[in-house]
Chain A
Amino acid sequence: MKRRTVNIILVLYLIVVWAAVIFRIDRFPITWVPMYSVYKPSETISTSVRDKAALRKGLRVTHRDGSISYVSYKDLNIPKPNFRRLYGSRIFGHDPPKHKQGNTALGSVNRWVRGLDDNERNFSVDWEWRMFWTLNKTLQFEPADPKFIIRMESANQKRVYRKADLLKGDTSKVEIQTNQAVIDWQDQWIKRWKHGFL
């Protein structure tokens, strides 16, 4: 390679990596390094408490024939930490951090580049539909099957602390919230079934 070619490569490389930063592009292997960047000041902090037994048991699902069973990480053949996120976040409609980073304080230029209106989100995912698609497809259930999953349920316990109490080392003042997610299959999704979400 000639030195002139190397110079061209370097200039192009620097343009690409800086463009990723300016336009907030976070697509591997380029990034604007948004990890842990999102912070919204608040008085409280809420933390999910891990219920290992419930996680091992899995999501409670209802099949089209009315039977009830549990779907665990072993049934889906995915790592435990990933299942924990399906169980405790996605079914509740909570986005992964990458989406939060991409949606927060996007700025007018980056909204314009992406063709987004003022209140439009950069990342917007219908997690309910995806949960049904993912679980049913993985377990090889088609919409007409009696075993097709039509309802999913999950529960998690959250502990809400006031930061002021925690800073005094007082962990006794805690509000315990039990959240339950129940999501139902919608027949209008059948149109999407063949294509998935690609």
Chain B
Amino acid sequence: MAFCKSTSRTWNQFFFTGFSGESLGLLRMYIGIGLLLFHTYQFATVLTLNPMGAMYYFIEPIWYFKLLGIQYHVPALSFVMYAILMGATITMILGKNTRTSIVVIILCIFYLKGVRDSFSGDVHHRYIIPMQILFLFVLSKCGQVHSRDARQRRNPGGVQEWEASWPIKTMQLYVALFYFWSVIAKVRVSGWVWFAGEGRIQEVLIHRSVRGGFNDKGEILTNWLGFELAQHPELIHLFGILVLAFELGFPLLLFIKSVKLRLAFILGVTTFHIATFVLMHVNFILIPFVYLIFFDLVSIHAWLKARAHQILGRRPAPEG
């Protein structure tokens, strides 16, 4: 009985406290801004195609294309879907028909990602975290604060703390688990040797630096830094341990109250993603925009607003 009560208290404390309606509304806006860039980067290759060109029959349709019987690509449709996606992301930022906008974004991502990943059967995982965030936004009251919807429909009660907190805390939990699960996957599939100095990291470093070829003198043409690093297994082993520590330890971030410590951790993770992009061409470079979920954006937004007014030479409007 005592255990149940304690579990219930911890559950409620974790999921239902910590954020205001304003935080949730601002998170929707800033994640939306990040998504504008993210969508374009992710679907850029699809946008290089000829909209009136051949309709390609997929070699390995993604699972939901198989389920729906979608066998080929209609190039012009991808351009239309991209335009709708960007439009819906803007309306999500503005908070206009917020829930509908987010549902439209989700559908467009499903379609465009399905197309991109069905061309040759290479399924990418870069949209998994943004998709979880969007799903939780749909279920939340994120459209009731800092939005056009809120101006039109007056909600005297506002958004309560528990209503604002659970979607954000669930997003945080998912992201933390995502990194934690990646350790489980590595150990399950390859064992601890994955983290060794002469393990997977070294292999990817060599592979990605050698594939660009060599000049007449036998020097690496691209990514010489990765190749240099690959020759130091003891250093790679250290990086391997760091990767292990930060991925296993990511859930601890959920319990760090200090904003400075959180920021330090997030900067570390961001550096990791930049380093893997530069050295190994692992394309998670833009994913750090989702780490906004680990911060209460109210004070950051107020600071940015004050700076913007300062730059534009205007005084901020009084609160209320």
Contact = CB atoms under 8 A, between A and B. Distances in A.
Interface stretch (A113-121, A144-152, A164-172): A164-172
A125 interface: yes
Nearest to A79: B45
A166 B54 contact: no
A167 B188 contact: no
B71 interface: yes
A171 B214 CA distance: 9
B166 A166 contact: no
Contacts of B127: 28-29
A138 interface: yes
Contacts of B184: 21, 32-33
Interface in A28-80: 28-41, 45, 47-50, 74-80
Interface stretch (B23-31, B86-94, B202-210, B267-275): B202-210
Interface of A is mostly: mixed
A78 B116 CA distance: 9
B66 interface: yes
Given A36-B204, A85-B120, A168-B231, A79 B48 contact: yes
B36 interface: no
Contacts of A77: 49-50, 53-56, 73, 75
B60 A125 contact: yes
Given A39-B200, A105-B188, A130-B59, A29 B132 contact: yes
A33 B230 contact: no
Contacts of B59: 86, 90, 127, 130-131, 134
Contact of A10 (B69, B170, B204, B227): B170
A134 B181 contact: no
Contact of A1 (B57, B139, B186, B213): B139
B211 interface: yes
A191 interface: no
B57 A86 contact: no
B55 A10 contact: no
B119 A79 contact: yes
B20 to A, nearest CB: 17
B58 interface: yes
Contacts of A1: 139, 163
Contacts of A81: 45
B185 A134 contact: no
B193 A41 contact: yes
A163 interface: yes
Contacts of A41: 193, 198-199
B79 interface: no
A127 B59 CA distance: 8
Contacts of A50: 211-213
Contacts, number: 199
A17 interface: yes
Interface in B236-280: none
Interface string A94-132: 011111010011010000000000000000010100110
Nearest to B140: A1
Nearest to B132: A29
Contact of A32 (B58, B185, B212): B185
B160 to A, nearest CB: 10
Contacts of A139: 54
Most chain B CB inside 10 Å of its own CB: which residue of A78, A82, A137, A172: A78
A54 to B, nearest CB: 14
B218 A171 contact: yes
Contacts of B186: 36-37, 39
B122 A31 contact: no
B295 interface: no
Contacts of A171: 210, 214, 218-220
Question: Which 10 pairs, one residue from A and one from B, show the smallest C-beta to C-beta distance?
Answer: A77-B53, A79-B45, A82-B119, A39-B200, A137-B57, A85-B120, A39-B190, A29-B131, A77-B54, A82-B120
18 contacts: A10-B15, A33-B185, A37-B189, A39-B200, A47-B210, A50-B213, A76-B54, A77-B54, A79-B49, A86-B120, A96-B123, A134-B56, A134-B58, A138-B72, A166-B210, A166-B231, A167-B231, A198-B71
Interface of A: 1, 3, 6-7, 9-10, 13, 17, 21, 26-41, 45, 47-50, 74-83, 85-86, 89-90, 95-99, 101, 104-105, 107, 125, 127, 130-131, 133-134, 137-139, 159, 161, 163, 166-169, 171-172, 196, 198
